[in-house]
Structure 1
């Protein structure tokens, strides 16, 4: 029975190894796909959001398998007001765009967001990473004045190009279908008041019924 048991384990191991290699191959061929999300949603879902100057790019090879490490100088921490991140820090990412690796130009200032695991900071091309010079004036104000940070209790549903969409409510703002979604992304925030969540401005021609909610 033992030889048979050993042979079975060996066969199973070979099967799992083949399956694993197949999944890796498929992942590389499919490339990186990111969900479309409003900057406010990306901000709120991130564990850190900083404005930083990129100082250096080095090999990563950390315990989590991230191949690239960026050394950055944090200029402003927009997410953590009680224990803000300061000084030089390391941020890890994948070395391949196919696996959602982020890329930053040296000596440039970025808004960089991501997650933290065991004290190690990670980011990806799906995170809200933007050159500071490409931010709209509204986005800069939303960061600077804490508008994103103070309204993380509100959800945003992007219904652009979707046939079915949940209705706006006291906890949810909706980007309606056939609307200029760029306006909502670049020049609007879902804010909370006593009446619930609603769009900050009517600049994107948001119907009043959405603003009132349910």
Structure 2
């Protein structure tokens, strides 16, 4: 009888541990799936943002601002790519959520990033869906497009990525389209949608090459 009770207790303990493990796994998966954002063209990220700066991360502190952002980064602005007339200068505060599940952005101290975001009542906010990048990860074309104002000067042109869409609009004088049978990362890394007298069109022919030649810088 004692052996049966011991076996029963051991079985319950094992099942409890299994359920606890499964529960923690589901919570973990739920958190990781909480923030979802489709990748966009860098020009789209740029044009949708209120600020776009190259900055060095100096410190990370508790945020708790009026918009519920729990983390505050203090960064040194090295270059303002968005505002050419009244550029952001010096050290500024940028707020974000404290959790990856709610799209909080994470920056390593002393690293240089391209940071994008919105400004509300003077408070700058960013997220993991804002298009932030390590400066060292930018391609040659992306750096050129930022430095020479290619993104900034062509925000009137829309970019539609059709690589994962069943139905897609056609290209027009106001729109560039990434075709459904193409490599969208080539367009992200090596091209921009620019306006001429004939309307909006892709800036280069780089992404019309065979697919095995379009990666890299």
TM-score higher than 0.5 here?
A: yes
Structure 1 residue 30, shift from structure 2 partner: 4.2
Q: Does the CA contact (< 8 Å) of 1:71 and 1:91 recur in 2?
A: yes
Q: What is residue 141 of structure 2 aligned with on the other side? A: 138
Cα distance in 2 for residues equivalent to 1:29 and 1:37? 20
Structure 1 residue 35, shift from structure 2 partner: 2.7
- Counterpart selection for 2:116 from 110, 113, 116: 113
Q: Does the CA contact (< 8 Å) of 1:161 and 1:178 recur in 2?
A: no
Cα distance in 2 for residues equivalent to 1:145 and 1:161? 30
Cα distance in 2 for residues equivalent to 1:99 and 1:28? 8
Cα distance in 2 for residues equivalent to 1:146 and 1:164? 32
Q: In the TM superposition, what whole-angstrom CA distance separates every residue of 1:34-57 from its partner, at most 9, and x where no partner exists? A: 133110001000000000000000
- Counterpart selection for 1:198 from 180, 201, 206: 201
**Cα 1:29–1:129 shift into 2, 3 Å:** closer
Matches within 5 A, 1:88-99: 88-99=91-102
For structure 2, the residue ranges without an aligned partner over 5 or more in a row are 1-29, 210-217
Q: Does the CA contact (< 8 Å) of 1:60 and 1:66 recur in 2?
A: yes
- Counterpart selection for 2:50 from 43, 47, 52: 47
Q: What is residue 73 of structure 2 aligned with on the other side? A: 70
The number of residue pairs the alignment matches comes to: 180
Structure 1 residue 124, shift from structure 2 partner: 0.1
TM-score (norm 2): 0.81
**Cα 1:29–1:103 shift into 2, 3 Å:** closer
After superposing on structure 2, the runs of 4+ consecutive aligned residues of structure 1 that deviate more than 4 Å are 27-30
Higher-Rg structure is 2
Name the Cα RMSD after superposition. Answer: 1.2
**Cα 1:40–1:29 shift into 2, 3 Å:** closer
Cα distance in 2 for residues equivalent to 1:29 and 1:138? 32
Cα distance in 1 for residues equivalent to 2:166 and 2:120? 37
Cα distance in 2 for residues equivalent to 1:135 and 1:178? 25
Q: Does the CA contact (< 8 Å) of 2:32 and 2:100 recur in 1?
A: no
Q: Does the CA contact (< 8 Å) of 1:170 and 1:198 recur in 2?
A: yes
